Structures are given as structure tokens and as C-alpha cells.
Structure 1
Amino acid sequence: MSEIKVRVAQPADFPQLIAMVRDFYVEDQIPYIAERVEPGLHTLLDEPSCGAALLLLADDQVVGYITLGWCFSVEQGGRFVLLDELYLGPAARGRGWGRQALALARDWAAGQGAAVIRLEVNHHNAKAKALYLSAGYRDDERDILTLALSGAAGRLHS
């Protein structure tokens, strides 16, 4: 099995990264709302204090990405990392790279001082959930609920 590498995405990587984000959203049935997603990605690329976008590389070619964001929870002991998105292009699947990508995300988070990584997975994506569980993540048997705040109506999906 070949290995993938990772590098932190830079603002100049935005066009390549947003193209993969669009592909991921179509595939995972996530509404792509450019007015929300694109500024969010720019913020992540421009402000390292928010987290990082990691480009996944095989033979120096980008084959996917991971977005990681900083969050805070008393229950989790303070700052933790949200593994927000993990995407491998169709040609990069079935090679064990998803598991490697999770390990690379874990290493980045640990290197930044996080003690916990959390993630969410859509109910319809049983294959992704199985990968996460096999990599040591646990199902907390909780649902994520969302409330759009004033001025944000229509920007968040349920």
C-alpha cells in the first residue's frame, strides 16, 4: 500500500480546494451555498488560529483534503479539534488512504496541542461511519442540532 502525505493548504490553494469541496458536497448530499462555504474556507486558509485545511498528496498530486477547526467544550476539557470534512477523490479510494488521512489529521491535532478530535458523519454515509469507528472514533449516540441565528437564516442547513 502506498502512502499519502499531507501539507497545510495556503490561500493560493483555494481554487483547487474549493473544486474538491463542491465535489464532496454533491456526493454527500450537502447543500453548497457559496455565500457561506467560500468565505468560511477563505477564513480557514487565512487564519491559522481557526484551524487548517490539509491537502492529501500521492506522488505529489492532490488526491483529497481534510478541514480541521478549533472548538471549545468544557466536557472535552477545553479546546478540541473538529474534523469538519474529509474527502478523497474517487480515483484515490480503496487504497487505505482514508485511514492514513485520519492518522495524519490526528497527528496534526496532537501536534497543535489538542487532546480530542470530534467529527460528524451524515446518517446516510454508513461507509464513512464504519471507517471512523474502525479508526478508534466512538459513536457518542448524540445528534447534532443546528439553530440559524438572526442574520444567518438560510445560510445553515439542517
Structure 2
Amino acid sequence: MLSLCAPDDRDRLLKMVTQFHEEEELPTTDEDRLSGIDALFSGDVQAAAWLIGPKSSPVGYIIVSFGFCMAIGGREALIDEVWIRPSVRGRGMGSQCLVAILKELTKMDVRRANLDVAADNPKAKALYDKLGFTTHERYQRMSRRL
């Protein structure tokens, strides 16, 4: 169900990322998306993308970045984006994808997986709750674009 993206998947991934960003009305540009995908494949960042479904005609993607947290004693991952084509949503692919990526992250010695969920997306929140993700009781994520 998941296949690790390679540089030859660039255009396929870019098309889906663009669809997701437009759907979510994210304030990104074509330049931002191209820069992000090029960085993903450059080897300079600790991140990876997987295609969901058949590699020849994927129905979605997941992007994960990696970091370190002293408080958990090692590596952590941020599930940055998960997107499934609207026409195939509601069939359990999102659940299967997340279960598979969590197994993969465990094999990679990742100790904690994090993700963000939009407050106005109860379906996604219910899925993440079902898979054992919880709201952090002590910290709230804050950001500053550089």
C-alpha cells in the first residue's frame, strides 16, 4: 500500500501536493511546493514521502519529517501531510496508511510520532483518536515562518 518516493516520482507527488494545498486553501505557491519537493529529494533534510496505493497510479501520499527530542530519548517524527484523493476517501485507506507508516517508523527507531489536525476536521480527528494519537496535555504547538 505504501511505496517510498524517489526523485522520478517528483511530478506525480507535486500534482497531489498541489491538490491538497488547494483543497485546504493553504497559502503556498507553486514555488514553495517545488522547493519543498526538491529539498525532500536533495538528501539535505531528514524527511521522506510515500505514495499511497499502486506506485503507477497512487491515490495519495504521506510526508514525514524527522527530528530529535531529549525528553523521549531519541528520534521523533512529524507526519506532515497525509492526503487521499477525494473520490476514494471513506474506504479505510487513511487508516491503513497510518497503521503502515507507524509500523515503518517503529522499525526506524522513532520513539514518538506527531501530527497536526485542523480543529474543524472532526473526521480526521476521530481517525487519529482511533489510532491512539492524543492531544498533548501540556504543550501547544507554535510556529514562526522564517
Question: Is the TM value for this pair above 0.5?
Answer: yes
Q: Does 1:143 align with 2:140?
A: yes
Q: Is this contact kept in 1: 2:39–2:45, CA < 8 A?
A: no
Task: Specify the code of the residue in structure 2 equivalent to 1:145.
Answer: M
Q: Does 1:11 align with 2:7?
A: yes
Percent of residue pairs bearing the same amino acid type:
30
Which stretch shows the higher mean deviation, 127-136 or 58-67? 58-67
Structure 2: gaps spanning 5 or more residues: none
Q: Is this contact kept in 2: 1:9–1:53, CA < 8 A?
A: yes
Which stretch shows the higher mean deviation, 82-91 or 136-145? 136-145
Task: Specify the code of the residue in structure 2 equivalent to 1:147.
Answer: R
Aligned structure 1 segments of 4 or more residues deviating by more than 6 angstroms: none
Deviations along 1:105-152, one digit per CA (max 9) or x if unpaired, are 10221121112111111222221111111111111144321123xxx3
Task: Specify the code of the residue in structure 2 equivalent to 1:146.
Answer: S
Q: Is this contact kept in 1: 2:52–2:97, CA < 8 A?
A: yes
Q: Does 1:92 align with 2:88?
A: yes
Partner secondary structure for residue 108 of structure 1: helix
Partner in structure 2 of residue 156 of structure 1: none
Q: Does 1:53 align with 2:49?
A: yes
RMSD of the alignment, in Å?
1.9
| Aligned-pair CA distance for 1:50 | 1.1
Matches within 5 A, 1:121-136: 121-136=117-132
- Name the CA distance, whole Å, in 2 between partners of 1:17 and 1:59: 11
- The number of residues matched between the two structures is 145
Q: Is this contact kept in 1: 2:80–2:116, CA < 8 A?
A: yes
Which stretch shows the higher mean deviation, 7-16 or 49-58? 49-58
| Aligned-pair CA distance for 1:34 | 3.1
- Name the CA distance, whole Å, in 1 between partners of 2:103 and 2:91: 20
| Aligned-pair CA distance for 1:46 | 3.1
